[in-house]
Amino acid sequence: MLIDYMEDYGLDTKNIDKFEKYKELILEYNKHTNLTRITEDDEFNVKHFLDSLSLFKTDLFVKDKKIIDIGTGAGFPGLPLKLYNEDLDITLLDSLRKRIDFLNGVIEELGLKKIRAIHARAEEIARDPKYREGYDIAVSRAVANLSTLTEYSMAFVKVGGYFISQKGPEYKEELKSAKRAIELMGGEVKDIIHTPLPNDIDHYIIVIKKVKATDKKYPRGGGKPRKAPL
């Protein structure tokens, strides 16, 4: 059960009912619109909830930090972060309207404040002064290599803020390939945190600090961050 996993992981279980309701809403919506292939209860709790909450191991998601979750999908990791620490100010970003409609429904159903879901492409909205370099932390669990995620994400982060990516045991190769992208975006790797999960899942959190402003030509448009990573 989720409550057991959270307790074993050293997490407070005060909002467990909201997590269960959120799961229920996902599984119901998933019957007609694909949000996740993970529907078995134990796997869901570990790979969606506990994996998202492992970000608190960084000690960065505190107080009322402004967070943007890029390519949030069904709301991971942004919504679990919000459910665990209600003081966080969170923006959920996704390019698919159906996902955003779902997320807005969840926000309303759970009565959450200081959180919004935005329908937009990262490479376009990152050029908007309202969003560019306006966040303390950018996170992304989107399926893409680290070079691509870094280019999409770093423009949203304030100088002095962080881009945080969750990766599997092959993270060293990705990190090596992403070295140029990280530097070009104004970042430097500050920490790598091992976050093993139940069922022998081996994950790592890569913490990249933004030390200088991102050049205005980034992120590139036309899907170039995916098609031709830096």
**Annotated binding-site residue numbers:** 71, 76, 122-123, 141
Q: How far apart are CA 27 and CA 140, in angstroms?
A: 22
Annotated binding site for S-adenosyl-L-methionine: 71, 76, 122-123, 141
Cβ distance 100 to 119 under 8 Å? yes
Please say whether the dihedral angle defined by the alpha carbons of residues 72, 74, 76 and 78, taken in this order, is positive or negative: positive
